[in-house]
């Protein structure tokens, strides 16, 4: 295993450098530690990007190539030295070598404190989204009254201190392995989804072009589907087809049913003008495979949603679609359907504006929303730390921009 140790000070004489060199030599049989300096790193400025500077590039390369990083920090005015903070700013601006990297913090100081406050600040800094290091918790190594700590040969004098340092380092080597395992891609791969609905299931109506404009009429003729005032027995009740249609059309939402073969079979608001719908549907869409209902760019996300639902990872996937403006809060909900025996039967995509529901509730109860309006940007640290990289949530976006039902 290969580690690098960063001297958190640009001073000519530094006990933290001494500490890292001691770790490098004393524990050489356990681990290979290369000591790195930050002396030549220029002052950080957003206006003058010097990420290509050799001193910064050197640190970047060395850190990237290492399995883990030890940072030794002094304490200056209750915090880490400006030179260390400065280095971390460069390493979280255009370059991000510490992203996901296991880090161990140690520190030495002249006073009893042993850099305790600086170490806590350093933890917070390393946790910022642009840095995104994985800092080992606990195992705080504080070397106080450091002028007394080393002998003439630069060895730590106190046997207990050495033993504790060895314990911390041993745990860190384990921690590096744990972190590497954590960073591995998840082994479980869900089966791919055939969005072209090329297969068939028990209920698939065979022999009719799924993409035909009059698929509904052809399919109805083929199976002798009932309509109008004929009765259908439901669980629990009996309705005519007309009653059933009226009932479904009266729901305060748009619903769509795609079966477990990924064929879109139904939508409920056929009588409403398409341009008044949150996701405009066309009569010819009924019967289409899902691949035909979604733009190409969105299909990976559609597949992801179906995988989650079919595998039972989630019962519902919700997606706020902000394109309708502030007066509405339109959410696409992908709800898994199941037979009584639990078998996956497809998706109910229901699209609902939550805003009138919330407004009605507030009006009836005389309440107001705390903080006025909902803050759409919950991860403020994303733009908070100016030089930091963004930390967007990795949830796939299902048709958040283009409508979920746009005909491709």
Partner 1 sequence: MKQFIGIVGSNSRQSTNRELLQFMQQRFESEATIEIIDLNQIPLFDKPSDFQVPAAVTEIAAKITAADGVIISTPEYDHSVPAVLTSLLAWLSYKIYPLLDKPVMIIGASYGGLGSSRAQSHLRQILDAPEIKARVMPSSEFLLGNSLAAFDEHGQLKSADQVQKLDGLLADFLVFVGITEQLNHAHEMAQKEAAHFSWENL
* 237-240 and 231-234 strand pairing: antiparallel
Is residue 117 within 8 Å of residue 78, measured between CB atoms?
yes
Name the residue nearer to partner 1 (CB basis): 78 or 318.
78
Name the residue nearer to partner 1 (CB basis): 275 or 375.
375
Q: Show the beta-strand stretches assigned E in 209-363.
A: 231-234, 237-240, 254-259, 264-267, 316-320, 330-338, 344-353
Instruction: State the nearest-atom distance from the C-beta of 143 to partner 1, in Å.
Output: 14
Name the residue nearer to partner 1 (CB basis): 147 or 271.
147
Instruction: State the nearest-atom distance from the C-beta of 159 to partner 1, in Å.
Output: 24
Instruction: State the nearest-atom distance from the C-beta of 93 to partner 1, in Å.
Output: 9
Instruction: State the nearest-atom distance from the C-beta of 116 to partner 1, in Å.
Output: 12
Is residue 93 within 8 Å of residue 126, measured between CB atoms?
no
Name the residue nearer to partner 1 (CB basis): 97 or 130.
130
- Which spans of this chain sit near partner 1 (rule: CB under 8 A)? 10-12, 41-47, 76-83, 85-86, 88-89, 92, 110-111, 117, 121, 124-125, 127-128, 130-131, 147, 375, 377, 380-388
Q: CA distances (Å), 159 to each of 150, 151, 166, 231, 297, in order? A: 11, 12, 11, 89, 62
Instruction: State the nearest-atom distance from the C-beta of 380 to partner 1, in Å.
Output: 4
Instruction: State the nearest-atom distance from the C-beta of 66 to partner 1, in Å.
Output: 20
Q: Show the beta-strand stretches assigned E in 11-86.
A: 32-36, 68-72
- CB neighbour list of residue 266: distance below 8 Å, 6 or more residues apart: 256, 257, 286
Name the residue nearer to partner 1 (CB basis): 124 or 174.
124
* 102-108 and 141-143 strand pairing: parallel
* 68-72 and 134-135 strand pairing: unpaired
């Amino acid at each position: 295993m290969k580690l690098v140790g960063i001297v958190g000070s640009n001073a000519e004489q530094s006990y933290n450098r001494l500490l890292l060199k001691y770790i490098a030599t004393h524990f050489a049989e356990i681990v290979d530690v290369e000591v790195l300096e930050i002396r030549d790193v220029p002052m950080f400025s957003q206006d003058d990007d010097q990420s290509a500077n050799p001193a910064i590039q050197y640190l970047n390369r060395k850190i990237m190539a290492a399995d883990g990083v030890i940072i030794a920090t002094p304490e200056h005015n209750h915090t880490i030295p400006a030179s260390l903070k400065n280095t971390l700013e460069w390493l979280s601006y255009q370059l991000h070598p510490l992203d996901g990297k296991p880090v161990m913090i140690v520190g030495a100081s002249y006073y009893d404190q042993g850099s305790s406050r600086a170490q806590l600040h350093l933890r917070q800094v390393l946790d910022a989204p642009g840095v995104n290091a994985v800092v080992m918790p606990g195992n705080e190594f504080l070397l106080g009254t450091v002028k007394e700590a080393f002998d003439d040969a630069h060895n730590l004098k106190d046997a207990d201190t050495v033993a504790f340092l060895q314990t911390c380092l041993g745990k860190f080597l384990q921690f590096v392995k744990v972190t590497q395992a954590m960073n591995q891609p998840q082994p479980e791969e869900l089966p791919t989804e055939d969005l072209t609905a090329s297969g068939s299931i028990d209920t698939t109506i065979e022999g009719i072009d799924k993409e035909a404009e009059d698929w509904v009429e052809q399919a109805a003729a083929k199976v002798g589907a009932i309509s109008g005032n004929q009765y259908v027995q439901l669980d629990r009740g009996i309705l005519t087809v007309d009653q059933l249609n009226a009932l479904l059309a009266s729901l305060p939402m748009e619903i769509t049913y795609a079966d477990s073969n990924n064929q879109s079979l139904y939508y409920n608001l056929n009588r409403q003008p398409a341009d008044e719908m949150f996701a405009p549907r066309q009569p010819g869409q009924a019967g289409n495979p899902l691949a035909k209902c979604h733009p190409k760019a969105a299909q990976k996300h559609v597949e992801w949603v179906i995988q989650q639902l079919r595998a039972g990872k989630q019962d519902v996937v919700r997606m706020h679609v902000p394109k309708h403006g502030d007066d509405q809060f339109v959410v696409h909900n992908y709800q898994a359907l199941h037979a009584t025996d639990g078998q996956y039967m497809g998706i109910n995509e229901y699209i609902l504006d939550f805003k009138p529901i919330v407004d009605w509730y507030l009006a009836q109860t005389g309440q107001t929303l705390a903080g006025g309006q909902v803050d759409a940007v919950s991860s403020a640290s994303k733009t908070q730390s100016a030089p930091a990289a963004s930390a967007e949530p990795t949830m796939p976006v299902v048709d958040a921009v283009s409508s979920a039902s746009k005909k491709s």
